[in-house]
Every structure is written in structure tokens, then in C-alpha cells.
Chain A
Amino acid sequence: MILLGREKPYRREMTSGNLAFAEAMRQINPDVVAAYPITPSTEIPMKFAEFVADGLTDTEFIAVESEHSAITACVGASVSGARVMTASSANGIALMHEIFPIAAMFRAPIVLGLVNRTMGAPLNIHCDHSDSMPERDSGWIQIYCEDAQEVYDTVLLAVRLAEHRDVLTPVFVCQDGFITSHCYEPVEFLSDEIVRNFVGTREPFWPLLDVDVPVSYGSFVMSEDYFEIKRTQLEGMSNVPRVCGELSRELAFVTGREYGAVERCMTDDADYVVVVMSSAAGVAKDVVDSLRGRGVKAGCLRVRMFRPFPYDEVRDVLGDKLGVAVLDRSVSPGGAPPLAAEVRTALYDCPRRVPVASYIFGLGGRDFFPADAEMVFEDLAEGRSGFAGYIGLRDKYARGRRAV
């Protein structure tokens, strides 16, 4: 790419996941942002409100009275043709829940910064995935980022992905609360000019405010048509892998960083692979490196895109392994943990049965240590499969680092 701008094309700064998200918003300059603060996502609208107050954006910033109102205003603005962004966490996400499937059915592109935090009670502000996992059936795209750089890159990608004619589906850009959202690390920002060239302006299809082509959103539909109309919604999601691949390559052309639906770390020749999402992948990959130094054929598969779930990629990576461990940062009481359920579904069609051991870790921000990941690899070497326990849970009868 030939860069003719006045600004330097890139700049490196120490920043956090939240501030990287807010900086991306400033550069994107969305038409409407409606948001309500909740820890740990508060910094995103807070920093962005500063940009608005300083006149650095043209955005209509709507300070609302609840998360339900925030997402409702976002849906109204989005179907009117505006480029729309917001952010939330935990119980704020739960309060938005009623509106999420409506946004998805309306094919309303919205980019929501979801900073993962556990669902109360007990009241706790730290990270797990129990806020976003209940939304997996809401019809939104879910992308989980490992670090602040990936958050920044993914926000730019998500705007194009959500608004693409073949997708028209809202996106959650997830990052781990505090671990990613509040920790400072170096992030490479593109120049404003490059960002604006990449994101362009939204070209809405059938906006509510087009008086020449009047349309209604949200009409009442009886049983004879509901099923067919619901089926139209699924087209957007099924086009995500193709469109996201195209956009990721286009963005990588500018940034030099390309992300797939999954990230493979030493998986090609691995015997044992740990599957994990978001920031904990950093620990797992570090342990893979050290185990490789000791001759253990360990690997790590980080699932970045949870909706749509990359069943084919997961099967391709894991189908020939001696053992797979899936680490879930949320529970489904009375059922399989969400990531483990998807990985097992992906592997069901393999000709050879792959043993899958499922773990729960990190609830309410409980730390995940290298020794925990090492224990998981030791379990796999011993042939463990099925539900394999709660990592780091204090239990009167537990031996070692795990309680079953």
C-alpha cells in the first residue's frame, strides 16, 4: 500500500483494551453511540464521551438511563441507516438481552464492545464468560480477543463485517474484563486516514428514514410466515466465514496482522491440544512453548470466533489428536460447558474418536497459572476424558490443582 497521508501511518502507544477500543471508535467516528456505564466496560463510553465533548467526532452521543435503553436506541439508529456502536458488560448485557434477537432479526449492524465479566450473584466485577455465553443464541456474531492489539484490529474489522451487504448482522467484540480491558500493553494504532479509508461510510439497505422507499420494521407476523422470515436471518450468519476472511485479508494488508476464526499454536504435529478462548490463551501458549522445549508434543488452539462457530477448522486441527482438553470460562449448570459442547460437536463426525477432557476455570476472575495448563497436559498424557474438573477450586477432597 502506498501511503500518501500527512500523518505517520502507524504509532505505538502503551494503552489498555478499553482505551484501544475507544480510540478505534474515535477514528471510526460512528454516527450514533448510545451507552450506559457498567464495570469493566465503563471506560469505553467514558473515554469516547470525552472525544465527543472535545469535538473530535461528529457522533450523536446518547446518554441513556439503562442498558435496555442503550441497545434500543442503537437498534433504532441502526435501522435508520446510521453507523452505531456501544459497549457493556455482565448484568448490563443481560438487561440488553431482550433487544439482541430483535437487532439480529432486523439485520441491524451494531458493533458492541463486550468486556467479559461474571454475572452476579455473588456480586463480582472480574472476568469470566458467563455474560456473553448466554447470548450465543441471540443471533449476534461473537469474536473473542486475546489482547488489546487484537481488540483494536477487531473493532475496525467488525464495523465492515456487520455492515457488509451479505452479512448485515450485529457483532460482539469480546475481551476479558480487567485482564485485557485494564492492563496496559503496547498497541500499534493506524493513522486516522488509513482507518477512515478502511471503514468507509455505511451504505444502508432499506433504511427506515428513506421516505422514497418507505419500509416498516417490526411488523406483527403470524405462524404462516414467521418461520420463513426467521430463515432469512440465518443467511447473514452463514456468510460470515467468507466475508470475514476477505475483510481480514484486506485489513492485514494494512496492519500486517491477520486473524482467522481460530488461532493455531504448534497444533500441526501436536499429540495433545488445549482449546481455550481470550486472554488465557497467552498462558496456554507459553506453556506449550516450554513443554516443546522438554520434548512434549503440546499445542494450543484458541477459538476466536464463537458465533458462527468454526466447526470445520476445529475438526481439521483436532481430528487426529491423541487427546484434547477444552477449557471453559463459564458453566452451564446441569449441562455441558459451552465451548466443550461445540468442540465435541465438531469432533463427532471424525472417523476416529478423539478423547475430549472438559475443564472449568477462571470463574469470577480466578487466575489461571502456567502450572494449571501443565496439569491439563499431564492429564491428557494419562488419557483423561469427560468432565475433568474445576481448575484452581479449593475443595476439601481435591488433590493437586483440580477439584472434580
Chain B
Amino acid sequence: MSAELKCWQDFPPGGIAFGATARQVETGLWRSMRPVLDAVRCVSCLRCWVQCPDASIITDSDARVSGVDFFFCKGCGLCAKVCPAGAIVMRPEAEFLNEPCGAVQGTSPEGR
């Protein structure tokens, strides 16, 4: 038995994990299309911020949309769909091959 692997008696009941957090899970790795924000067209209505299933829309201190967190963004395209100003377009990831996958467009959220 390898020293670092636990015996069954060391696991809590229910298969639960203590202190686990989704903050560590880079769901951005799943993305094939990425939302690109046009800051000039954006009216900061925050519909994208409300609808984003991964809380990936970043806002600045004035609560204006300032970017997308690509560490979490799965590229579902919901933000582009609900945007009334046409300020978000979905582009293939192939166009961004020279950028790191988890790059953040805008300010980085705390906790990563």
C-alpha cells in the first residue's frame, strides 16, 4: 500500500469532500468559442452578468461590465445571445491560439 493513499477508514461518510471549492476548477478548458466584448457598444445593462451560468462576467468598481474571466468561461454564448447592444460576439478559440487558455480579459477576481 502506497503511503500517500488513504485507507477506507480515513474517508468521511457519504463520499463528501470538506472545503472543496469550484474556484479551483478550470472550466475554461472546455471552451471552443469565446465571447469578445466591444466596450464601445456595451451599455452595461448587466444582462450578461445576470445570465452567465459560471459568473464569468467581470464588472469594475462602478458595476460596469469590464471583461470575461476565461478561467471559468465555457463559451456557452448565452452572454452574446442576451446582449441587446450587440456588444458581445462569439469567436472560435482557433483565432486565439497564441494566448494562454486561462487568460483573463479584464480584472482578475480574487480567490484564484
A and B interact physically = yes
A contact residues vs B (CB 8 Å cutoff): 79, 105-108, 168, 205-206, 213-219, 221, 224-225, 227-229, 231-233, 235-236
Do A107 and B11 touch (CB < 8 A)?
A: no
State in angstroms the CA–CA spacing of A218 and B17 once bound together. Answer: 9
Instruction: Name the B residues within 8 Å of A213 (CB-CB).
Output: 18
Do A224 and B5 touch (CB < 8 A)?
A: yes
Residue in A closest to B4 when the chains form the complex, CB atoms: A224
Contact residue among B5, B6, B11, B17 (Cβ-Cβ distance under 8 Å from A215): B17
Size of interface on B: residues with Cβ below 8 Å to A: 16
Does chain A have a CB within 8 A of B14? yes
> What's the minimum C-beta distance from A207 to chain B, rounded to whole angstroms?
10
State in angstroms the CA–CA spacing of A215 and B17 once bound together. Answer: 5
State in angstroms the CA–CA spacing of A392 and B15 once bound together. Answer: 47
Q: Which 7 A-B pairs have the closest CB atoms?
A: A228-B8, A216-B20, A231-B8, A107-B14, A216-B17, A215-B16, A229-B15
* Contacts A/B (CB < 8 Å), 20 sampled: A79-B14, A105-B15, A106-B15, A108-B14, A168-B13, A214-B18, A216-B16, A216-B20, A218-B15, A219-B17, A224-B5, A228-B6, A228-B10, A231-B8, A232-B8, A232-B13, A232-B14, A233-B15, A235-B13, A236-B13
Instruction: Name the A residues within 8 Å of B19 (CB-CB).
Output: 214-215
State in angstroms the CA–CA spacing of A106 and B99 once bound together. Answer: 41
> What's the minimum C-beta distance from B22 to chain A, rounded to whole angstroms?
9
> What's the minimum C-beta distance from A44 to chain B, rounded to whole angstroms?
27
Do B8 and A215 touch (CB < 8 A)?
A: no
Contact residue among B11, B13, B20, B21 (Cβ-Cβ distance under 8 Å from A225): B11
Residue in A closest to B10 when the chains form the complex, CB atoms: A228
Residue in A closest to B16 when the chains form the complex, CB atoms: A215
Do A229 and B11 touch (CB < 8 A)?
A: yes
Instruction: Name the B residues within 8 Å of A107 (CB-CB).
Output: 13-14
Does chain A have a CB within 8 A of B40? no
Interface residues of B in 6-45 (CB under 8 A from A): 6-8, 10-21
> What's the minimum C-beta distance from A317 to chain B, rounded to whole angstroms?
33
> What's the minimum C-beta distance from A133 to chain B, rounded to whole angstroms?
26
Do B15 and A206 touch (CB < 8 A)?
A: no
Instruction: Name the B residues within 8 Å of A79 (CB-CB).
Output: 14
Instruction: Name the B residues within 8 Å of A219 (CB-CB).
Output: 15-17, 20
Instruction: Name the B residues within 8 Å of A216 (CB-CB).
Output: 16-17, 20
Do B18 and A225 touch (CB < 8 A)?
A: no
Residue in B closest to A215 when the chains form the complex, CB atoms: B16
Instruction: Name the B residues within 8 Å of A233 (CB-CB).
Output: 13, 15
> What's the minimum C-beta distance from A104 to chain B, rounded to whole angstroms?
10
Report B62-99 CB contacts with A as 1/0, cut-off 8 Å. 00000000000000000000000000000000000000
Contact residue among A168, A224, A225, A228 (Cβ-Cβ distance under 8 Å from B14): A168
Do B7 and A205 touch (CB < 8 A)?
A: no
> What's the minimum C-beta distance from A187 to chain B, rounded to whole angstroms?
35
Q: Given the known A-B contacts A215-B20, A224-B5, are A206 and B14 also in contact in the complex, defined by CB atoms under 8 Å?
A: yes
Q: Given the known A-B contacts A228-B6, A232-B8, are A217 and B18 also in contact in the complex, defined by CB atoms under 8 Å?
A: no
Instruction: Name the A residues within 8 Å of B18 (CB-CB).
Output: 213-215
Do B20 and A214 touch (CB < 8 A)?
A: yes
State in angstroms the CA–CA spacing of A225 and B2 once bound together. Answer: 12
Do B11 and A232 touch (CB < 8 A)?
A: yes
Instruction: Name the A residues within 8 Å of B11 (CB-CB).
Output: 225, 228-229, 232
Instruction: Name the B residues within 8 Å of A225 (CB-CB).
Output: 5-6, 11
State in angstroms the CA–CA spacing of A228 and B5 once bound together. Answer: 10
> What's the minimum C-beta distance from B59 to chain A, rounded to whole angstroms?
24
State in angstroms the CA–CA spacing of A233 and B15 once bound together. Answer: 8
Query: With contacts A168-B14, A217-B15 known, what are 20 further pairs, Cβ within 8 A?
Result: A79-B14, A106-B15, A108-B14, A206-B16, A214-B21, A215-B17, A215-B18, A215-B20, A219-B15, A219-B17, A221-B15, A225-B5, A228-B10, A228-B11, A229-B11, A229-B15, A232-B15, A233-B13, A233-B15, A236-B13
